[in-house]
Amino acid sequence: MQKKADSDNLGYQGAPNGSNGSPGETGQNGSDGVAAEKIGELKKWLSGEETLLSWLTEGSESELPIDSDIEIGGADELREDQLALKEKVADYEDELTRLRKEINEMRSKGEIVGVGDLETARKLRELSDENTKLLKELESAREMKEALKSQFESSLSNLPENSASLIKKEVELKELEKELFSRENEIAEKEATLREKASSAADEIGLEERFHAELKGKDLEFRHKEQELLSKVDKLEQDLKQKVIDCKLLENELKIARMTGPEADKEIQDKVKELQLKEKSIMLRDAEIEKLRIEIREKDDELSKIKSVVSYKEEEILRREEDLLHREKVLSEERRRFDEMKKQLQGVDEVEMKKRLDELKTEIQRKEEEIRAKEKYLNVKMEELRRKEQGIIEDEISAREQDRALEVQQAKVKTGNDRLDDLLLGGIPFGSNILIHGPPFIGKEVMVNQFIAEGLKKGLPAIWVITDKTPREIREEMNYVLSGYEEYEKLGLVKYVDSYSRSMGETADDPYTTYIDEPTDHDKIMDTVEQIVKDYKEKHEFYRLAFRSISTLIAYSDPNTAFRFLSPFCGRRKRDKAVALYTIEKGMHGEQEIQMLGSIMDGMIDFKVDQLRTFFAVSGISDAQSRAYIRYTSSKHGLTIGSFALDHIR
């Protein structure tokens, strides 16, 4: 408060129009209006709305007497005085600014209160007084209650014990009745709320049932219309084909009719030559077909031989199982007989018992040797069967040399599914990186397995980069798609880069697998794949790669890190003209992440489920007969793809 007073004194000292810098004399010599005006200006200056310099300047300009007889020297002296006054006022202004700052800091700390703070303090005092008054009334009520309670207890003490107990019970009963009444009100309110909710739920259930009934009717109507449209379309397609043939015949007839005699003869001769060429081509094709039929019959004969060997193997295994069951029965019977003899011969000499026991052991050893000999025989037969199967696989790889040459000529690889190859107009181009995007358990892995199996049948090596499966699990899946998959491994056509098993704590070693300790070791994965590719390139021109799955890779790191790894990885597959498929789970990643990964791919096959039916659509890759979603069904053995034009979501 002392600083406030000092600032006021400074203000009065610097204020104009006073004889000694005090506004008091002005108040004595001037009117009340002038005094009020000065006080208002002084308040503006103290509150900070105007500066002292502007206030003094306005006052000096308004009240400075103008005399035309003032000499130039006097005017200069007056200006010098004004400049000195302004400098002094500027010093006062700096001092006042500093004081205001200190006052505001003290106000913020609660050391000084303003007008608004005084009003708040006044209201606070009133509330405090009222609160004190209420506390006093509450205290007096409590004292009165205690007095009445003591008076009631003293009155009860004067009564007989039974009467006093009865009165106490009545008081407690009234209190319980009051509490029961309040609880009954609460229960009634809750019951009303529950009834309202039940009625609204019943309305919702009725609406839902009606909606389902309408939806079922619409679905039946739609299916009926769809069948009608399909039948109409089939009929129109047949009519169209017939009309096209008729039009072509009419055009040929009209063309010949418009020609002159020599031109018509020449046209007829050309047609005859063309027909002869087509007939020759058909004959060559028939010969090729007959040759293929002969080869198919030979393959069927070989297959029947293999089936006979397999059936013999199965029969041998059944005989082995029967032998084991018989052995178990014999041992059980011998054990039973031994137990009976033990009971019967408890009184016989111990030497005789040991002799009988030795005989039983000898018989058991003899039977075990017989079983081991049979097992050895079965192993020899199985090895013989494996060698035959391996020889058939090698023969098949050699026989499909023409298919490999055809893929090179068309610059497209087959996917292992004829319908998918037809959709892609021949297959997937060399050097393509394809993203297989879809929910779990929908068949996208089966498509990848078919793709790898098709390459192995033609002798093309395969690389598996696995982050969510073990080599044993991949081997089990592939056995459903490709018979004798292990033989292709033994031929050196399959290699695994496994970053999953070690992180799961598995310590077993697989001879065809390179293990990566951590899924985040991207450099090790890249180097391992490059070394396998280098080994393959010494014997094979091309290879195929399957990456399962990118989702696990992203889960262990982040999308940007996975993108930085996959970008050069995909570039090297394109450099090698290899075809690689990458699976990624739908629902685990945002649209931006899918778009980012798609930017380094050459195309995507997107799987989805709609009304318990499965569909897929092709994006990018190459020219395709349809980009719409196509219905399909899947099993462990492969995909069955529906119509490209009709059986898709419109």
Position with higher pLDDT, 154 vs 311: 311
* Higher-pLDDT residue of 185, 565: 565
The residue among 218 and 430 whose pLDDT is bigger is 430
Residues 487, 492, 496: CA angle, nearest 5 degrees: 100
pLDDT digits (tens, 9 = 90+) for 500-550: 888 888 888 888 999 998 888 889 999 999 999 999 988 888 899 999 989
The answer to whether residue 417 scores a pLDDT higher than 60 is yes
> Treating both helix axes as pointing N-terminal to C-terminal, what angle do 52-63 and 72-109 enclose, rounded to 10 degrees?
150
Instruction: Assess contact for 306 and 392: CB atoms under 8 A.
Output: yes
Does the pLDDT at position 32 exceed 70? no
* Across 235-249, 431-445, 626-640, least confident range: 235-249
Position 318 scores a pLDDT of 85
When pLDDT is cut at 50, 70 and 90, the band that residue 9 belongs to is: very low
Does position 649 have pLDDT exceeding 60, yes or no?
A: no
Distance of CA 176 to the CA centre of its chain: 59
pLDDT in tens, 581-610: 999 998 888 888 888 888 899 999 999 998
Residue 435 has pLDDT above 90, yes or no: yes
More confident residue, 22 or 448: 448
| Segment of 192-196, 348-352, 369-373, 548-552 carrying the highest mean pLDDT | 548-552
Of 487, 450, 439, 462, residue with least CA distance to 573: 462
pLDDT recorded at residue 85: 56
Q: Between 413 and 112, name the one with better pLDDT.
A: 413
Q: Identify how many contiguous H helices and E strands the chain contains and give both numbers.
A: 18, 12
Return the bridge partners of 633, or none: 640
Rounded to an integer, the average pLDDT of 369-398 is: 67
The arithmetic mean of pLDDT across residues 419-443, rounded, is: 90
- Rounded mean pLDDT, 623-644: 85
Instruction: Write the pLDDT tens digit of every residue in 260-284.
Output: 778 777 878 888 888 888 888 888 8
Instruction: Identify the residue whose tokens are 């090596």.
Output: 461
Q: What is the mean pLDDT of the chain?
A: 76
The CATH fold assigned to 411-641 is Rossmann fold (3.40.50)
pLDDT tens for 146-201 read 777 677 677 666 666 666 677 777 777 777 777 777 777 888 887 787 777 777 66
Q: How confident is the model at residue 1 (pLDDT cuts 50, 70, 90)?
A: very low
Select from 376, 387, 370 the least CA-distant residue to 309. Answer: 387
Share of the chain above pLDDT 90, in %: 13
At 48-87, the pLDDT tens digits run: 555 544 544 444 444 444 444 434 444 455 455 556 555 6
User: pLDDT: is 36 or 372 the higher one?
Assistant: 372
Q: Is the pLDDT of residue 613 over 80?
A: yes
Is 403's pLDDT higher than 80? no
Query: What pLDDT does residue 302 have?
Result: 81
pLDDT of residue 115: 47
The DSSP-derived string for 154-178 is HHHHHS-HHHHHHHHHHHHHHHHHH
More confident residue, 125 or 44: 125
Domain boundaries, the chain: 2-112, 118-155, 159-258, 264-399, 411-641
Beta-carbon contacts of 142 under 8 Å, excluding residues fewer than 6 positions away, are none
pLDDT surpassing 70 at residue 204: no
What is the rounded average pLDDT of the residues 272-297? 86
Percent of the chain with pLDDT over 70: 71
Residue 93 has pLDDT above 80, yes or no: no
pLDDT score of 75: 46
Q: Is the pLDDT of residue 431 over 60?
A: yes
Residue 393 vs residue 411, higher pLDDT:
411
Mean pLDDT of 607-628: 87
Shortest CA distance to 562 belongs to which of 601, 593, 528?
A: 593
Q: What is the mean pLDDT of residues 478-505?
A: 87
Q: What confidence score (pLDDT) does residue 69 get? A: 42
Q: Provide the pLDDT confidence category of residue 90 given band limits of 50, 70 and 90.
A: low
Predicted confidence (pLDDT) per residue in 97-150, tens digit: 776 676 667 666 655 444 445 566 666 667 677 767 777 777 777 777 677 767
Q: From CA 488, how far away is CA 536, in angstroms rounded?
A: 14
Q: Which of the given ranges, 10-24, 274-288, 390-404, has the highest pLDDT on average?
A: 274-288
Asked if residue 458 lies in contact with residue 403, where contact means CB atoms within 8 angstroms, the answer is: yes
Q: For residue 529, what pLDDT is reported?
A: 93
| CA–CA dist 509, 512 (Å, integer) | 9
